[in-house]
Structure 1
Amino acid sequence: MDLGLANKRALVTGSSTGLGRAIAEMLAAEGASVVVHGRDADRTDAVVAAIRADHGDAVAVLGDLATDEGAAAVAQAAGDIDILVNNAGYYDGASWADLSTEEWTRIHQINVVSVVRMISHVVPGMRRRGWGRVIQIGGGLALQPVAEQPHYSATLAARHNLTVSLARDLSGTGVTANIVAPGAILTDSTRDMVLQAATANGWGPTWADIEKAAATTWFPNDIGRLGRPEEIAAAVCFLASAHADYISGADLRVDGGTIRNVS
């Protein structure tokens, strides 16, 4: 299926590693010109090099989106953008008892206000050109939070909420706004957490055993495994594509059935 991404320019925030990298690489493989964003020059350049080695088109942009100045610099360096994927974010697994109000404020700046900054810089150009895609990376914790990391779950809820508001504001412009909500995805950091839990809980001995235990007790879902970064990237590419013109304000859950409601 031709997704119609040739000659489109995509900015994927936080794409020097993890989910963001998988998204950037798949968009490039589908023909988009990709702006790879990160804060570490070596990691960001490595993603660009990998995309180019696979005959894709990519450039690197560095900057801290948690500041007005950093976000403005990234947007200016990126140029006109057709597809904005707000992936950059932060979590630390802290509990209610561990969190200060300053830490609540910090994660809100990184996970929510940075998204607003990039929307404010990039979306006006989409409006003028009459076409665009804004895709937020959210998560199931926005809808069904747990006791741990309440500050992180609250920022995901904010991302989901602001996306629907943005979609309403973009009505009739040719620009859409949607959410991709991953479940537990097997990135390097997730693998590390699962292996630590496996040691604590006696899961094993093989990775297959550990993953099944995690998907049954720790991240329960109906598929019985963790998701893969490429599965999130595929959802993003579809929502960015010419085939998603009639989808806006949607929450596309890619979580193996973890969230069990019908809303």
Structure 2
Amino acid sequence: MRITLEGRTALVTGSTQGIGAAIAFGLAAAGARVAVNGRDADRAQEAVERLHRQVPDADVLAVPGDLATDQGMAEVVGRLRETDILVNNLGIFGARPALEIDDGEWRRYFEVNVLTAVKLIRAYLPGMTGRSWGRVLNIASDSAVVIPAEMIHYGVTKTALLAVTRGFAKEAAGTGVTVNSVIAGPSHTGGVEDFVYELVDKDLPWDEAQRVFMREHRPQSLIQRLIEPEEIAHMVVYLSSPLASATTGGALRVDGGYVDSILP
């Protein structure tokens, strides 16, 4: 299959590092004009420069702004009035005993992990439906289905994101716009390395720490390793393309078989 996204603009939130950066690279390599987002303007510009080195002829721009704030949301939407592909990748996570999660933290997780996606969909979906083409991708997690005991607040927000996806797919029915979730499994990013070391011996070398983490905390994984961000990006690029025109309202898994289900 040859995937080309030439002539399309994509916004990837939280794309200065990790999974978001890998998605931005994948979309740029497929020919899309890519808007890189992060809270810090300098880091967003650094990510743009890095993408230019990776894909020399890429059309990439920085749209910095803290999407969890009204001001940051207005800045991003003001700089990028329209987009053909919206990838809601922004999210926060961290381990916390369930009874120690206070109201403020519950609200913060919901506002960052769910409401930023809702607000951006509201901002960009009308333009997509008006042009009869668009792609909305919400990056969810296996934690949406297998709620982790050590961070139920994170899991709950990702479950909510699946419902957001299905609901807006119905809103976009018959318009040529598709709305899908990508359920990412345990992935190898810098933030996850920090998380792994919260749960295993900090003195272990990374390769051994990863094995211990997967064995003790994610034993359901069928590939028995962390997923590389590029592997998640491949699914996003496909779903962003014309080849995925009949896939909408779905939750597509890139989880290494972690979720014990025969359904997507």
Match of 1:255 in 2: 255
Q: CA deviation at 1:198?
A: 4.1
| C-alpha separation in 1, matches of 2:207 and 2:91 | 29
Match of 2:152 in 1: 150
Trace 1:125-204 onto structure 2 (pairs within 5 A).
125-199=127-201
Match of 1:79 in 2: 81
Q: CA deviation at 1:98?
A: 1.6
| C-alpha separation in 1, matches of 2:198 and 2:116 | 31
* Paired residues of 1:51 and 1:57 also in contact (CA < 8 A): no
**SS in structure 2 at match of 1:112:** helix
* Paired residues of 2:201 and 2:209 also in contact (CA < 8 A): no
* Paired residues of 2:142 and 2:259 also in contact (CA < 8 A): yes
* Paired residues of 2:142 and 2:186 also in contact (CA < 8 A): no
* Paired residues of 1:12 and 1:37 also in contact (CA < 8 A): yes
**SS in structure 2 at match of 1:261:** coil
**Which deviates the most, 156-165 or 98-107?**
98-107
* Paired residues of 2:95 and 2:195 also in contact (CA < 8 A): no
Unaligned segments of structure 1, at least 5 residues: none
Match of 1:88 in 2: 90
**Which deviates the most, 243-252 or 40-49?**
40-49
* Paired residues of 1:7 and 1:33 also in contact (CA < 8 A): yes
| C-alpha separation in 2, matches of 1:157 and 1:47 | 29
Percent of aligned pairs with the same residue? 40
The one-letter code of the counterpart of 2:25 is: E
State the Cα deviation string for residues 15-56 of structure 1 (Å, max 9, x = none). 011111111111101111000000112221111001122221
Q: CA deviation at 1:212?
A: 3.0
The one-letter code of the counterpart of 2:83 is: I
Match of 2:218 in 1: 219
| C-alpha separation in 1, matches of 2:207 and 2:72 | 42
| C-alpha separation in 1, matches of 2:147 and 2:136 | 24
| C-alpha separation in 2, matches of 1:159 and 1:230 | 22
Match of 2:60 in 1: 58
* Paired residues of 2:86 and 2:135 also in contact (CA < 8 A): yes
Distance 1:157 1:40, change over 3 A: same
* Paired residues of 1:139 and 1:181 also in contact (CA < 8 A): yes
Q: CA deviation at 1:261?
A: 1.8
| C-alpha separation in 2, matches of 1:4 and 1:242 | 8
**SS in structure 1 at match of 2:150:** coil
**SS in structure 2 at match of 1:64:** coil
Unaligned segments of structure 2, at least 5 residues: none
Q: CA deviation at 1:152?
A: 1.0
Please state if 1:97 is matched with 2:99: yes
- TM superposition score normalised by structure 2: 0.93
**SS in structure 1 at match of 2:180:** strand
State the Cα deviation string for residues 53-85 of structure 1 (Å, max 9, x = none). 222110001112112332122112113200000
| C-alpha separation in 2, matches of 1:16 and 1:218 | 28
**SS in structure 2 at match of 1:135:** strand
> How many residues are matched?
260
| C-alpha separation in 2, matches of 1:105 and 1:240 | 31
| C-alpha separation in 1, matches of 2:143 and 2:94 | 14
**SS in structure 2 at match of 1:80:** coil
- TM superposition score normalised by structure 1: 0.93
